[in-house]
Amino acid sequence: MKAPLYIVDGVRTPFCKMGTALASADAIELGRSAAAALLARTGVDPAQIAEVIFGCVGQPIDAPNIARVIALRAGVPTQVPAITVHRNCASGFEAVTQAAEKNAAGQGDLFLVGGTESMSRYPLLYNESATRKFTELSKAKTLAQRIARLLRFRPSDFSPRISLQLGLTDPVCGLNMGQTAEVLARDWNISRDAQDRFALRSHQRAAAARGRLAEEIAPFYPRGSHAAVAVTADNGVRDPQTLEALAKLRPIFDRHGGTVTAGSSSQITDGAVALLVASEEGLRRTGLKPLGKLIEYAYAGCEPARMGLGPVFAIARAEAASGLGLADADLIEINEAFAAQVLACCEASASPEFAKEHLGRDRPLGDIREEILNVNGGGIALGHPVGATGARLVLTALNELHRRGKKRALVSLCVGGGQGGALWLEAVS
């Protein structure tokens, strides 16, 4: 990177399982809540912001360019533009890195960025046949025509297509995300037990980190409910979670000998994150004090059926650009899409064969030490609101660096469709 991008501060809503505490809110309202809380918390004059950039994977139909809607509703003045970005699961990263790119291109020095997702609100869709019949019906001119066209509907026309399921299925390789994790489990021989142990550790770490995570959460206040409610904490963490309970679960993506269960997959979750980022000039101009900075980042593509290995490719690229390797990291975050997928990344990073064959390098990336990996738990316990997760990883890692008095964090995630993203962050004291 030519110039670092400073992360001034960040805040997020609680992350809550689909259909629970945040289900009454849409992605706009979640994003607005986080953005408004952040503006209040930093005290920044919103008119100073150059652009608002938000990631969102399942954009609500009623808010095309959801970033603009969030910006206006959070009190950002009309003259400040806004753009929504989409890099699937890395959309929250993309919002941050796009701010860095805009800054490098001289397009602003202070950005409100983040990600938002309401997986509760993913709509059910009419199938293609029903859609066609509705269109014909709407064109009917006479009563007779209308009746004739109504009679063409069949019960099967009303079985909905579940957009969440569709979104989690790769249209190129035909596998859904869980099935890609099964591929990795087979490739790298990752046992059911290893996956369950990883999942258990995620819950245990997240449960222990509850107090720490509370620092990055701004309570969410659902509107329109009969009683006054404040949602103050994540609700996906199972405390206590046990190996026995995990072992009882059936594989859900592959009934025949599969190893990936709901317990070792990330949760389907609602939530939003907002970050305020600035260049050095932006900091000078506003007098804001930064939490940390983004010093390098990379995105890399890989095979869609093995999208879970994306982080390895991205980390390799980031190393090529910056010279920073796994050994330089005081903390590592790899988003827990699936336990099998994170474990496969660890294996691949340490594998000389993989390095030679896929990364074009003669030595492996190195070891990903368990004690610095996802120290506060990850998507398995906290949930993975796809558009928001990237921004959360940045926020959680920076806060943890400060708590530990450490310097550098490497945060990465795999991306449906076969990509990976990796960001190098540095604490600023």
Judged by the rule CB under 8 A, the positions of this chain that interact with another protein are 32, 36-37, 39-43, 45, 73-75, 219, 221, 223-225, 227-230, 232
CA separation, residue 221 to residues 28, 32, 33, 98, 250 (Å): 14, 12, 8, 30, 36
Nearer to another protein, 152 or 289 (CB): 289
Q: Spot the catalytic one: 56, 345, 346, 414.
A: 414
d(C-alpha 137, C-alpha 140), whole Å: 5
Nearer to another protein, 144 or 228 (CB): 228
Nearer to another protein, 81 or 219 (CB): 219
Task: Clarify whether 384 is annotated catalytic.
Answer: yes
- Name the nearest CA neighbour of 393 among 417, 414, 412: 412
Q: Least separation, in Å, of the C-beta of 245 and another protein?
A: 31
Nearer to another protein, 226 or 250 (CB): 226
- Name the nearest CA neighbour of 167 among 181, 182, 177, 180: 177
In 284-407, beta strands by DSSP E: 292-301, 331-334
Residues 6+ apart with CB under 8 A from 225: 24
Residues 6+ apart with CB under 8 A from 233: 14, 210, 214, 217
Residue with the two structure tokens 């790119």: 101
Nearer to another protein, 215 or 370 (CB): 215
296 phi and psi angles, rounded to 5 deg: -160, 155
Nearer to another protein, 42 or 389 (CB): 42
- Name the nearest CA neighbour of 57 among 396, 389, 333: 389
HSE of 204, CA atoms in CB hemisphere, 13 A:
8
Nearer to another protein, 228 or 327 (CB): 228
Q: Least separation, in Å, of the C-beta of 357 and another protein?
A: 51
The string over 361-383, giving b where at least 16 C-beta atoms fall within 10 Å of a residue's C-beta and e elsewhere, is eeebbbebeeebbbbbbbbbbbb
Task: Clarify whether 89 is annotated catalytic.
Answer: yes
Q: Least separation, in Å, of the C-beta of 367 and another protein?
A: 39
Nearer to another protein, 138 or 225 (CB): 225
- Name the nearest CA neighbour of 206 among 410, 383, 329, 338: 383
Q: Least separation, in Å, of the C-beta of 47 and another protein?
A: 10
The string over 154-163, giving b where at least 16 C-beta atoms fall within 10 Å of a residue's C-beta and e elsewhere, is eeebeeeeee
Q: Least separation, in Å, of the C-beta of 42 and another protein?
A: 7
Q: Least separation, in Å, of the C-beta of 230 and another protein?
A: 4
d(C-alpha 290, C-alpha 270), whole Å: 28
- Name the nearest CA neighbour of 87 among 75, 76, 78, 96: 96
Residues 6+ apart with CB under 8 A from 350: 364, 365, 366, 367, 368
Q: Least separation, in Å, of the C-beta of 401 and another protein?
A: 21
Task: Clarify whether 346 is annotated catalytic.
Answer: no
d(C-alpha 197, C-alpha 201), whole Å: 6
Q: Spot the catalytic one: 89, 302, 345, 346.
A: 89
Q: Least separation, in Å, of the C-beta of 44 and another protein?
A: 8
Q: Spot the catalytic one: 302, 345, 346, 384.
A: 384
As annotated, the active-site residues are 89, 384, 414
